[in-house]
Structure 1
Amino acid sequence: MQYETPSVLPTSAQVADQNKVLRNTYMMLALTMIPTIIGAFVGTSINFSFMAGHPIMASLLMFGTMMGLLFAVTALRDSVWGIVALLGFTFVAGVFLGPILQVALHLKNGAQLIGLAAGGTSVIFFSLATIATTTKKDFSFMGKFLFIGLILLIVASLANMFFQIPALSLTISAIAVMIFSAYILFDVSRIVQGGETNYVMATLSLYLDIYNLFINLLSLLMAFSGERD
């Protein structure tokens, strides 16, 4: 009788591919921080006073611009132009940090709060990414719940653009921190499990998680710890 030894080559190759996607994603994610920081410096020097007079129109314009750039990255994801589009998107995203950074920098401890928000975002990201990578647990079951939560969050944010309720703003920011933290776990898990094989799209997903986490952490810190003159 002849016994066939089960081949482990497909599994080994799959693991190698997943590790490659994860490695490329982390490298690209680090690279996206450069245009984001440059864009943020540009954004802090731009006069966004028009947004105060037309906050809803300004928000819709920013949202439309971001969605258009997201579509471009998605359409070009399989070519080198996808990387160019991704870096362009992160630059514009950095510019759009201008308004919240300007508000923060007008506080006495604004620079410290920005640093604290950045540090907190980093700690949350690396902690959750490590959990998803080392445990190898599949967190795909969270997808539907997170998507529903994200839709409700967007609806609440749009509603608060009209009502401008401070307590609701804080609630939205707190929920957003939880949702995008969970999304980090979900998105890293997808890469580890082989659910996302395109590192441009993987980087985009994680970048959006980090970007929104930073904004909402900073909003909470300004609300509770901001020192005004």
Structure 2
Amino acid sequence: MIDRSTQRSVGYGQATAADIDAGLRKYMLGVYNYMSIALVITGLAAFGVSQSPELMYAIFGSPLKWVVMLAPLGMVFFLSARINSLQASTAQILFWVFSVLMGVSISSIFIAYEMGSIARVFFITAASFAGLSLVGYTTKKNLSAMGSFLIIGLFGLIIASIVNIFIGSSGLEFVISVLGVLIFAGLTAYDTQRIKLMYMESDHSEVAQKKSIMGALSLYLNFLNMFLFLLQLFGNRE
């Protein structure tokens, strides 16, 4: 026989679980919304800059290109290091600025590749990303070990990419692109699970928003890098 105190305890537990599920869905939706808006901003910025030959020359025909190429990386490090001391509204503005700078830095893809090819690779990336993120969200397996391995691989990929800037090997570029797709595909599943586990029902709205922004930043970088590597592999050049 179940007494009244047990009934109250069970009812409270069920309500709490339901509240957590609803809160988690809202939190994850916020992450994906931030990521999607950032991708739209990046795409518009990239396309807009690519339509101005004068602007393209001013940026990529001068030392300014190094500022444009390195500024997004600097902002990622800044956001990661200072997110706890920033207000959520400030972090959000910096995220949008980062999205614009990233768009400017990749604007040359609209000159190097056919528009139809870019669109096709984008939709392939979107479908792949959705599937991989769903795996990361639903799997019961702990992906931490895989994530650690992929992060080590990412550092190796960065080093290989820097080396290839100087040697210009097409064979190495192909290997880097293949490995890049695989690494960021795995990181998409891993980061989705990590972002999900970061959620806490007790978080203040300010903390929850900052977690959403940083989660969106991780998934944004995974999506964009996977798209760029797939474009190198399957894109039709102009």
| Residue 225 of structure 2 is aligned to residue 221 of structure 1 | no
SS of aligned partner of 1:193? helix
TM-score (norm 2): 0.79
TM-score (norm 1): 0.82
Q: State the percentage of identical aligned residues.
A: 25
Aligned length: 217
**What residue number does 2:203 align with?**
none
| Residue 102 of structure 2 is aligned to residue 93 of structure 1 | yes
Counterpart code for 2:212 = Y
For 1:111 and 1:194, locate their aligned partners in 2 and report how far apart those are by CA, in whole Å: 38
How far 1:49 moved relative to its partner? 7.9
**What residue number does 1:150 align with?**
154
Contact kept, 8 Å, 2:45 with 2:100, in 1: the verdict is yes
Counterpart code for 2:111 = Q
Counterpart code for 2:28 = L
The range that moved more, 61-70 or 208-217, is: 61-70
How far 1:153 moved relative to its partner? 0.1
Contact kept, 8 Å, 2:72 with 2:98, in 1: the verdict is yes
Distance 1:29 1:220, change over 3 A: same
How far 1:50 moved relative to its partner? 7.0
Task: Summarize deviations over 1:119-168 as a string: whole Å, max 9, x none.
Answer: 11101111112222233443222221011000000000010011000110
For 2:16 and 2:45, locate their aligned partners in 1 and report how far apart those are by CA, in whole Å: 43
Contact kept, 8 Å, 1:36 with 1:94, in 2: the verdict is yes
SS of aligned partner of 2:45? helix
Structure 1: gaps of 5 or more residues: 105-109
**What residue number does 1:180 align with?**
184
Counterpart code for 1:142 = M
Task: Summarize deviations over 1:11-59 as a string: whole Å, max 9, x none.
Answer: 55544443222111111122213311221122313324874787xx94x
**What residue number does 1:207 align with?**
220
Q: 1:65 aligns with which of 60, 68, 71?
A: 71
Q: 1:82 aligns with which of 86, 91, 95?
A: 91
Alignment of 1:1-229 (within 5 A): 5=9, 8=13, 11-44=17-50, 45=52, 46-48=55-57, 51=60, 58=65, 60-74=66-80, 75-76=82-83, 78-104=87-113, 110-194=114-198, 198-222=211-235, 226=236
SS of aligned partner of 1:47? helix
Contact kept, 8 Å, 2:92 with 2:213, in 1: the verdict is yes
Contact kept, 8 Å, 1:180 with 1:213, in 2: the verdict is yes
Distance 1:30 1:50, change over 3 A: closer
How far 1:220 moved relative to its partner? 0.9
Counterpart code for 1:220 = L
Structure 2: gaps of 5 or more residues: 201-207
